[in-house]
Structures are given as C-alpha cells and as structure tokens.
Chain A
Amino acid sequence: MYKFLFIFIAALSVLFTVELLIPVQTYVIQPFTTGLATVSAAIITPFDENVISSGRILRDAVGGFAVSIESGCNGVEATIVLLAGVLAFPAALRQKLIAIGLGFVAIQALNIVRIISLFYLGQWNYTIFEWFHLYLWPVLIMLDVLIVFALYLRWLATRDESSVEQASGHA
C-alpha cells in the first residue's frame, strides 16, 4: 500500500508540474479549455439561443453575464489525480487505458455540468455562484474522481475473481 502511495504522489507531482509548463498550457490545456467552452455552448444552445462561446468565455448575449473557464475549472487537475491513481495501481496496460479513457469522459461530463450550472447560477445569484464555484464544485469533482477510481478497483477485482474461477474450472 505504501508503494502505491509513493507512486501516486510521484506521478501526481510530475503530471501536475508538466501541466503548468507554458508550452503544455499553450498547445494542450488552452485549446482543450476552449473546446470545453464550445461543447458547453453547443449543449446549451438548443435550449437557450442567447449563449455565445468565444475562446474560453461563455457569454449570455442578452444579459451580458459571462464566465471564463480557467485553470481549476477545466477538470484537468481532477483527470491528473485519476491518472496518477490508475498508474500507481498494478493492472494490465489495457485495463489502465480503459480506466483512463472512461474516467476522463466521466470527469469531463460532470465538469460540463459544472460549467453550465455556474453559467446559470451566476446570472441568478452571484453569492451562490461564488459558493458553488469556489467550494462545492471542486469537492464534487473530486468525489467523482474517487467514485470512478473505486469503480475501477471493483472492476479489477471482478475480473480477478472471474479469472480465478476460470482457472479452477479448467483444472
């Protein structure tokens, strides 16, 4: 267990440092964050035609309220935490890749819910927007990571059990 913790913290430190490098920010993180704003706008537009996305900014054309998706709001840190956990836990490469792929989708799906909810909360009540933005959503996203990782462990355990059963069946 201590080996897992050591690898987890080492992977987390390396990935988090790499994420903050200027070239990574310029060529990976910022285009990705812009993509998140575009996807969020595309989801909202069928229900609310006044929403415009421009770069990392999501804006209400009528009211003028806008949110800019910054570091910490793009789900990248949460994805890094999951990535570090999956890398640290021994499993086959294929299993790790599946966990990372599905985990990324699960985190970003909730993150888009976060962005859209903040966009409307901000137009409704700024104090509540601040509360959700600064305190509640970061925790909910981390809880999402924890649930994804727990599901991954359960999936690994189920596969282990079924392979043991198959092996004893052949014997």
Chain B
Amino acid sequence: MRDIAFRQQFLTTLLLMPLTFLLWYAAGPALTYPATMVAGVALEAWLPSVVAEVFTEGTELYVVTHFADVNGNIVAATQADHEIAFKLNTRLVSYGVPFYAALLWSSRVDSLVGRFSLGLFVLWSLMALGLIAMVAKDLMLVIGDPFLSLNSVPPTPAIGLAYQTSVLLIPSLAPVVVWLFQLRDTPLWRQVADQLESSRSSE
C-alpha cells in the first residue's frame, strides 16, 4: 500500500509537470507579478541613491540606476547622457512554482486551493528575496564602490552567497520544503514523524 502511494505520488508529479510548466509559461508575468512588485518596492526603498527605477516588461525585470559608464568609469548619471540598467529574467527564480504545483496537486490532501495559495505566498516571498539578491550581485559587479560603500549594504561575500543560494538552491529546493511542510497531518507525514521518533529513541 505504502509502495503504491509512493510510486503514485512521484509518477503523478512527473506526469503533471509538463502541464504545470505549460501553464506557468502561458501565465507569463502574472505568476511572478507579486514578487517583482515587492522586489521593486524594496529595492527603491533600500537603495534610493543607487536605484532610480524598477519596472517589468513581460517576464523581464528592469532596474535603472543613478549611474552611468563613461570610458570604463562609473559616474553619476547626471554627468552622462545615459543610465546603467540591468535586465533580469524573472523565470530564473519562478520555475519552482510549476514544480511545487505538480508536487502538491499529485498529493492526496484536503483544501488544495488554500494550501496552494499559502505555498504560493511563501514562494513569492522567496522569489522577491531572490530577485533582490540578483540585483545586488549585478550592482556589486557593475556599479561597485558607490553601491558597496553604503552602510545598508552587506559585505561582498554575503551578497555572493545570497546570489548563489537564490539562483542555485532556492528555486528548486523551496517547493519541496514547502510541499513537505504542507503534508503535515497526512498519513505520509505521520509515518515519517513516527519513524523519526523511533529512530531517535533507539539511538
């Protein structure tokens, strides 16, 4: 019985993934909008002297800075006829959403819509943090000192670590953690919790 449930979970997840990825692609910016909006507001509030404007076009996030590049030197944009801007692919942090949807929709849980909404909220929060980390990494590498010398900016290793975590780990790991957490009170969760207890007591 346990084997059937186990196989069913993963096979259904695999079967659902083409559909959820198709829906995610078709939804375009709609599925990332809350995250891009929060990231934009947070960046403008956190770095008003660096970030001039944040806006989205489709699934791309554009960050316009107050700086320009003149012959390889970073100067204030007022001293040049252009501004440095970054374009970020928001799908790099949002591809966990269709994965999460496939995992949850293939699970036998009640109040699926409520759980999915809550999970999506958590993923949006992590996506917003991920986008901020991606922008911080670009600002660190391109703008450099004017950005890094601000008191509110963390040290460069922390920015690097936040970027790597946000791009390499969180998008694929967060959906699994959120999904596992939402399996609480299901037979599968209780089974693992019981096993944890028995393993600890036998240690």
Find B169's partner among A4, A77, A153 (CB 8 Å cutoff).
A77
Find A139's partner among B95, B161, B169 (CB 8 Å cutoff).
B95
Is A128 interfacial (CB 8 A cutoff)? Answer: no
- Say how far B156's CB is from chain A's closest CB, in angstroms: 12
Q: Which residues of chain B have C-beta atoms less than 8 A from A12's C-beta? A: 169
**Chain A binding surface SS class:** helix
B10 touches A147 (CB 8 A): yes
A141 to B34, CA, bound (A): 27
Q: Which residues of chain B have C-beta atoms less than 8 A from A72's C-beta? A: 167-168
Within 8 A of B (CB), among A119-141: 134-136, 138-139, 141
Chain A residues within 8 Å of chain B by Cβ, number: 29
Within 8 A of B (CB), among A78-121: 81, 89-91
A20 touches B160 (CB 8 A): yes
Query: Which of A91, A136, A143, A157 is packed against the most chain B CB atoms within 10 Å?
Result: A143
A89 to B198, CA, bound (A): 11
- Say how far A156's CB is from chain B's closest CB, in angstroms: 7
Within 8 A of B (CB), among A137-171: 138-139, 141-143, 146-147, 150, 153-154, 156-157, 160
Chain B residues within 8 Å of chain A by Cβ, number: 36
- Assuming the A-B contacts A17-B161, A90-B203, A134-B95, are A150 and B6 also in contact, with contact meaning beta carbons closer than 8 angstroms in the complex? yes
A1 to B193, CA, bound (A): 6
A20 touches B161 (CB 8 A): yes
Within 8 A of A (CB), among B71-110: 89, 91-92, 95-96, 98-99
Is A32 interfacial (CB 8 A cutoff)? Answer: no
**Chain B binding surface SS class:** helix
- Say how far B171's CB is from chain A's closest CB, in angstroms: 7
- Say how far B67's CB is from chain A's closest CB, in angstroms: 28
B173 touches A142 (CB 8 A): yes
Is B13 interfacial (CB 8 A cutoff)? Answer: yes
Q: Which residues of chain A have C-beta atoms less than 8 A from B99's C-beta? A: 139, 142-143
Is B116 interfacial (CB 8 A cutoff)? Answer: no
Find B199's partner among A17, A91, A139, A154 (CB 8 Å cutoff).
A91
CB 8 Å contact bits of B172-200 with A (1 = contact, 0 = none)? 11011000000000000001110110111
- Assuming the A-B contacts A4-B196, A77-B168, A90-B199, are A146 and B6 also in contact, with contact meaning beta carbons closer than 8 angstroms in the complex? no
A154 touches B2 (CB 8 A): yes
A134 touches B160 (CB 8 A): no
Query: Which of B13, B92, B164 is packed against the most chain A CB atoms within 10 Å?
Result: B164
- Assuming the A-B contacts A135-B21, A143-B14, are A16 and B198 also in contact, with contact meaning beta carbons closer than 8 angstroms in the complex? no
Find B17's partner among A20, A139, A156 (CB 8 Å cutoff).
A139
Q: Which residues of chain B have C-beta atoms less than 8 A from A50's C-beta? A: none
- Assuming the A-B contacts A134-B91, A143-B14, are A90 and B196 also in contact, with contact meaning beta carbons closer than 8 angstroms in the complex? yes
B196 touches A71 (CB 8 A): no
B164 touches A71 (CB 8 A): yes
CB 8 Å contact bits of B1-35 with A (1 = contact, 0 = none)? 01000100010011001000100000000000000
A89 to B17, CA, bound (A): 28
* 5 intermolecular pairs with C-beta atoms under 8 Å apart: A1-B192, A146-B10, A153-B192, A157-B195, A160-B202
4 closest Cβ pairs, A-B complex: A142-B172, A135-B95, A90-B199, A139-B99
